[in-house]
Amino acid sequence: MVDSTSPGSPDPARSPAESIFEEVGIVRDPANLFHQTIEQVLVAADLAGLQHHQRIILAEPKNEVMVHFPVLMDDGHHRLFKGYRVQHNNALGPYKGGIRYHPRVALDDVKALAVLMTMKCSLAGLPFGGAKGGVKLNPRELSEDELRRVTRRFCSAISHQIGPHYDIPAPDVGTDSRIMAWFADTYAQMTPEHSRQDVQGVVTGKPVPFGGSRGRDKATGQGLVHVLEEMLPELGLDLSKIAFSVIGFGNVGGWTAKLLCERGARLVAVLDHTGAIGAGRGIDPRRLAEHVDRYGGVANFSGADGIDEDAFYSTEVDVFVPAALEQMIDERRAAEIKAVVIAEGANAPTTPEGDSVLLQRGVEVLPAILCNAGGVTASYFEWVQNRTARSWSIEEVDGQLRDHLVAAARRTREARARYDCDLRTAAFVAACERIGEVYDLRGVFP
């Protein structure tokens, strides 16, 4: 099809990403996560045959909201906070994505994470677009009352930009169901014209008694296990016999470890912000979760030995699960990791340089938009339950989650076969194909 918006013929000397960067005015910085992410999307969009206007649409978020708001602290002074909500794309449905509380939250990272939500929702076959938000703060340094006031004030600051049919936040790093309950309640106070049922659906990841879904809490870890079940046999691995290591022991790392160990796998090393631990005989994930709850991290856990970071990365495993922050696996770490498979539980845990090293070394990387799609998939189930005023059984949630994740894994594998590319590119291609198809049908207004 002839693309009427294309400005002349493309220059064959430039990569598909380079010419779009130049056109939309992005000055590429190789260390910038947003630029890295857009580059991956543009390479995939090109392979998927997306039209020029569809590629420029994906190259920038539709809306970037930045707010500053004062909050009364426990000691009586006011502190000014900075918050973001970035809405990348809503071609497939309402914007969807988490809200992060972390001291290093910054605009370009939130933009990158919003793009990844667009891709993830598309790959998982959900009727959602992509968004992400965050507040720059360290939740560990704030009291419960301070966190509640920050959440209420942030929700009120962005309340006109979100809504159960428009943009639906959820938990992410540093936020949880308790924060989502405050968020939903604040939104309810701000929008009295909405019925209560509508208002509940403004956020997902709520506590079960307040409109949350059974199974949402464990869903990201559960989804990762389903992806492994589907992908490991072709690599000659049996899930019930694998040894694995995990970075991060929060919601994703903790649940992944518990669910894999229930299936017979052995957790042999864990790294988090407090240190690293290892035990060849296996670490009990339930006891470790209790320790982390009590002491804030894995350091000094009595059921394993303290090890250093280098030893953690070079521990021999079948599956390595990064489930903490972005960009942890760089060139150096990628060269050290001794694993057959990396299953990315966190968003964007591998740098492009790290990725090339892993590719060269033949380590199979199961990409984040596939591996961690379980969280937003269960969020979708929660949203459907809110809209239909129903409450699904855990069996219904688990069954539907499995079906969605297995289908997404198959879509990825199928794209890899069609385009003869790595799995990360394949996952992005499959996601782009669906968005391109919908844009072909919808056209661009006016």
Site residues (CB under 6 A) for ligand GLU?
A: 96-98, 170, 172, 204-205, 347, 372, 375-376, 379
Burial group, residue 3, by CB count within 10 angstroms (0-12, 13-18, 19+)? exposed
Nearer to ligand GLU, 109 or 172 (CB): 172
92 CB contacts (<8 Å, ≥6 apart)? 121, 122, 126, 127, 128, 129, 434, 435, 438
Q: How far is the CB of 6 from ligand GLU (least distance, A)?
A: 33
CA distances from 205 to 97, 167, 220, 293, 313 (A): 11, 14, 11, 20, 32
Q: Which CB sits closer to ligand GLU, 97 or 211?
A: 97
Is residue 241 part of the annotated active site? The answer reads: no
Q: Which is nearer to ligand GLU, 299 or 407 (CB)?
A: 407
Structure tokens that stand for 273 in this block: 């912000």
Residue 111 or 291: which CB sits closer to ligand GLU?
Answer: 111
> Would you call 286 helix, strand, or coil by DSSP?
helix
Catalytic residue among 96, 111, 132, 218: 132
Rounded least distance, CB 15 to ligand GLU, Å: 28
Q: What is the DSSP letter of 339?
A: -
Residue (of 136, 79, 133) closest to 104 by Cα position: 136
CB of 235 to ligand GLU, least distance (A): 25
Whichever of 182 and 301 has its CB closer to ligand GLU, that residue is: 182
- Check whether the bond before 207 is cis (ω within 30° of 0): no
- Whole-number minimum distance, CB 204 to ligand GLU, in Å? 5
Strand partners, 246: 270, 321
Q: How far is the CB of 208 from ligand GLU (least distance, A)?
A: 15
The letter for the amino acid at 439 is Y
Mention every residue, 6+ apart, whose C-beta is less than 8 A from residue 26: 35, 38, 59, 60
| DSSP-assigned beta bridge partners for residue 244 | 267, 319
| 10: DSSP letter | P
Where in the sequence numbering do the catalytic residues fall? 132
